[in-house]
Amino acid sequence: MIYCVIPRELEAELYDKLVEYYSDNPNVTVIIDRREGDDRRNGRGYGGHREVRDRRNARIPGTFPDLPVPD
């Protein structure tokens, strides 16, 4: 699926033209960008605080006895 996104400011002049242009292609959908408000990404780092964890099982604490080597 391919989305052709039109800014709200250009909806009046482009929407009908692009819907007609892509009418024979079922893989393309023309949509209008209706987002409002400020871009929340500006002025801050992406994502939250990530903690890198080692998910492997911890080894059993202590030492292992020396074993005799078989001949």
The tens digit of pLDDT for each residue in 7-63 reads 999 999 999 999 999 999 999 999 999 988 776 666 656 666 777 777 787 777 888
Q: Which residues contact 6 (CB under 8 A, 6 or more apart)?
A: 14, 15, 18, 30, 31, 32, 33
pLDDT of 3 > 90? The answer is yes
How high is the pLDDT of residue 40?
Answer: 67
| pTM for this model (two decimals) | 0.52
Return the pLDDT at 57: 79
